[in-house]
Amino acid sequence: MAEHDVDLLVVGAGSGGVRAARIAAEHGARVMIAEEYRVGGTCVIRGCVPKKLLVYAARFADEFEDALGYGWTLEQPVFDWQKLIANKDREIARLELAYTTTLERAGVKLVKSRAVLEDAQTVRLLASGERIRPRHILIASGAAPWPGPAIPGLEHVISSNEAFHLQELPKRILIQGGSYIAVEFAGIFNGLGCEVTLVYRGEDILRGFDDDLRAHLHSEMERRGVRIICGKTVKAVQLAQDTFMVKLSDDTAVEVDKVMFALGRWPNVVGLGLESAGVRFTPNRGIAVDPFSKSSVPHIHAIGDVTNRVNLTPVAIREGHAFADTVFGGKPTAVDHSNVPTAVFSEPEVGVIGLTEAQARERLARVDIYKTSFRPMKMSLAGRDTRAFFKLIVDGETNEVVGCHIVGPDAAEMIQLVGIAVKMKATKADIDTVMAVHPTMAEELVTLREKAVSYRREAAE
Ligand SMILES: Cc1cc2nc3c(=O)[nH]c(=O)nc-3n(C[C@H](O)[C@H](O)[C@H](O)COP(=O)(O)OP(=O)(O)OC[C@H]3O[C@@H](n4cnc5c(N)ncnc54)[C@H](O)[C@@H]3O)c2cc1C
């Protein structure tokens, strides 16, 4: 009997696992991948993709309104939630099939089963009870919504997972959380015509983002009718006939038709048998790995959200690819987690890369800030009262652009391209040499001339 049944067993067919399995197979490895739910993982099934489809749906509301100012006359548009969800589900099924086909074409054996480690050498497939002895194990099991503290009525609360499958669009929804997922769903439900209350325990939404950006987004969301309550938490949810009475920490109450919590996501490590295999964890519940995604057990690697490093799809994919190249391609590759551009598909949209103003002031001796807020041209005839926001953070000593923060239409598309310049260590002077593309919103980035403020750290005596 061969010592190993396969060269690689991947636990989880999400963004990272699928990429790692395919590339490892292309390098000639015998690969098996186990998936307990649906192929594609969080991103495809109940994350980025369905979320963005709902974001698109919600944005039509503004388009219909704005069209009037541009000479169009429209019948009162009618929205059908069930139709949107059915169409979204069809698209997700198509993508799931495409992922499955990709794996099969690469020669990867896909097993629809939960996989758990019995010990460091043995993985058990629970659907069949089969035991597999792989040469290498890759844990790519992702993360799941943290349900929240055990408050009365928690059983009535949904997470983002259920939000994608609601039977009906609620008239009123309360969302607890201040993360990108909470903010995005607030925008989706608001755009689709729901009354949205966002409750967040911290000082302001989007903790960890640039303070000016947070304040700008906060006021723009309120301008669009989202009620934002900061500094409070939900302490109980009571079912009152068909509605819910949500009690907040200050003893006020909000009556709604749905309650959703988006309070963070925890790595999927429970019940995987990792402890018995000797795998160690980080203080933030992720699997501890080195820059090559190797765990404390040399033949067990971990990538993506289960490591709780940078929890984004492109990062999981990059880590999966790097793992396969390192272990099976003879090309040791560490993933660079610095300056990862990212977006929040809120309304309006957010795109960021690099340091916030606060981080730059903490780390750099001299910091120059350039920023502007303006009404995008498209809003003029639309008569919409909304403003975009651009901010550049520049290292005052090297002139390098170390951060860029955008709020406004297409911010995500813009930050993808700004990311190239930032990774290439573009200076503010480089940006200034670029001719504007007129009339666009993005031209504001290359025409920022006046420093809004400069900080100098005094040298210690
Ligand atoms: C609502 C939402 C919106 C998001 N939006 C974005 C976005 O716009 N952009 C972005 O970059 N990222 C976004 N993300 C994050 C992104 O989805 C994740 O970072 C990404 O999916 C992580 O990939 P992964 O491979 O680590 O894990 P996952 O994609 O979660 O895949 C893990 C897979 O492992 C399976 N699994 C778990 N345990 C086992 C087991 N024991 N046996 C077998 N299978 C198992 C799971 O069923 C799952 O399919 C979003 C996430 C959410 C929830």
Say if strands 253-256 and 258-261 run parallel, antiparallel, or are unpaired: unpaired
Q: What residues flank ligand 1, with Cβ below 6 Å?
A: 11-17, 34-37, 41-43, 47-48, 51, 114-116, 140-142, 160, 181, 268, 272, 304-306, 311-314, 316
Atom of ligand 1 nearest to the CA of 345: 8
What are 115's two structure tokens? Answer: 């996989």
DSSP 289: -
- pLDDT for 458 equals 74
Q: What is the pLDDT of residue 459?
A: 59
CA–CA separation, 453 and 42 (whole Å): 41
Q: In a mutational test of the pocket of ligand 1, which residue from 43, 44, 184, 272 has the highest number of ligand atoms less than 8 Å from its CB?
A: 43
CB 286 within 8 A of CB 307: yes
Q: Exposed/middle/buried for 86, CB within 10 Å: 0-12, 13-18, 19+? A: exposed
Write the residue with the smallest CA distance to atom 6 of ligand 1.
48
Residue pLDDT, tens place only, 394-440: 999 999 999 999 999 999 999 999 999 999 999 999 999 999 999 99
| pLDDT under 50: residue ranges of the chain | 1, 461
- Residue 137 has a pLDDT of 98
**pTM recorded for the entire structure:** 0.97
Instruction: Supply the pLDDT for residue 457.
Output: 86
Residue nearest to atom 8 of ligand 1 (CA): 48
Query: How far apart, in whole angstroms, are the C-alpha atoms of residue 287 and residue 319?
Result: 14
Burial of 439 (0-12, 13-18, 19+ CB in 10 A): exposed
Closest CA to 237 of 175, 170, 146, 160: 175
Catalytic residue check, 156: no
377 three-class SS: coil
pLDDT of residue 461: 43
232 Cα: distance to centroid of ligand 1 (angstroms):
29
Which atom of ligand 1 is closest in space to residue 307's alpha carbon? 26
Residues 324 and 294 sit within 8 Å (Cβ to Cβ): no
**Residue 50 · residue 35 · CB < 8 Å:** no
Strands 172-176 and 258-261 come out as: parallel
Distance 167 CA to ligand 1 centre (A): 24
Q: Distance, CA 143 to ligand 1 centroid (Å)? A: 6
Spatial contact of 153 and 166, defined as CB atoms under 8 Å apart: no
Report how far ligand 1's centroid is from the alpha carbon of 446 (Å).
36
